[in-house]
Structure 1
Amino acid sequence: MLDAVSLATMAALSTNHDWSRSAVGAPASWPSALRLTVDIMLNTPLPMLLCWGPQRAVLFNGAYAALAGAGHPAAPGGNVPALLPVPLAAARDSVDQAFSGVATHLRRRSLQFAGSALAHEADLHFTPLLQDDGAVGGVLCALAPPTAAAATSAGAAAGSALRILVVEDNLDSQFLVCEMLSAFGHDNAGVAHAEGALQLLDGGNFNVLFTDVSLPGMSGVELARRARARDPSLRVIFASGYGDALLRQIEFPYLSLQKPYEIEQLQNALAAAAASV
């Protein structure tokens, strides 16, 4: 049964756009992940694109349409495009990674929109959208103002920028943590499970592994053990909502944060990790 918020959202969507002619169909048939994401996307000032389904139909908000220029169709889309939109075409590998369940963040990408003589710089954030059965139904692409490659604000001292892998199966939490790390001036990538983390660690040249203790499948503790066996210089920060009981037998140095933690606690842990790199 749909709740009142979902019913209101569907009513507004149906009023503003004839979705039945689009590749995603009428809102009444949408899964909850698509309905919620479209509602968020259409009501945010940040330019956003949503790529949905096996056909990869593309939806977008008014902020993206304005950024793409006068020749671009008005929001919200909903069809399979003949040509990939510029942000998706500029980061095909990241889009594919997100469809496999791995959130990715690309800093300072140069985007050239049709009809514009000037390139637009933006940080691109790709977030996989999980359906009720756990499968990835689509990918949300957000275009944020570019962050400096060596940013020193929000507690990141000059020369202390880190390369951090965030392992968190709650995608909302993962996105929030990665956004904070970017604001602190640290390069980062996010993944939802330990197996994917090990693949990224093999070629990512990371300084810090920031992992939830409780993960689906392999635990964060076992992930850290395997990662440290491959790279003993890797610094480890654990996040746990269950106290430190699972961390008492760990044989290597680590830092831990108790969920929910405060921004200052995260900054202190990162400063300690940076000092030991």
Structure 2
Amino acid sequence: MTAPSAITLPTPDWSHTALGDPAAWPASLRLTTDIMLNSPQAMLLMWSDQKIMVYNQAYVELTGLPGLRAPGGNVPAMQPAAWSWNAGVIADVRAGRSLAYRGCTLPVWHNGRVEPVTLDLYYTPVRDDTQVAGVLCTLALATLGAPAESNAPMRLLVVEDNGDARYLVCETLRALGHEVDAVASGEEALPYLEQHAYDVLFTDVSLPGMSGVDLARLARRDKPQLALLFASGYGEELTRRLDFPAQSLQKPYDIEQLQAVLERIAAGRRAA
């Protein structure tokens, strides 16, 4: 039996990158980069406060962005979706926490256009001596289960002023089988609520101008059958202080939590 032959990987030329000569790198950066570039799993490293991005060929193939070439090593004009989808995640990992998020819908370049893809994301702090100097993200394709039979598709109005967050939550809701309209403020939401029949108003609490709570109160007054769902940093603490029934998701939330709360809302509507 012939033994398999080893493949020697080419050594990247770092001279034209923001990382400079590898001889001057800290040991943690050298080790992480070696592991990442020799891994078949898509990996993306953000290094230092400059947010220098290093990635492997598997990441390039997963994201499919034209012109993207491994290993990177510079500060991109636009942050990758694995970073921009939730700034709180990066802050938590920089504080030393390892985090995993299952079923996140992120935009990737596919078939000549940007399309939503559901991924599992694993974030790991990379320490240089005693401090966190980088954040490593491992990305894997996720298999999204079909919506539960008991949870018929609903129509939702999403109110979120952050454009990236609005896009991601809408694509996630559509992947779960629901119909979605979206606006950036409470003032924009009011005519939508007047002109369309929605099952759920899904709103951020902190909005420019009218708050999500004030919007929900107005909507509930005119359409008492409308289910209310908040995204906030207060979670259940918020709903306990309200003078009307509502559900709340603690930011950051994952797709399983979103699906679970929508199933509770659907069950409540069927019971009513």
Superposition TM-score, scaled by structure 2 size: 0.47
Larger radius of gyration: 2
Give the TM-score of the pair, scaled to structure 1. 0.46
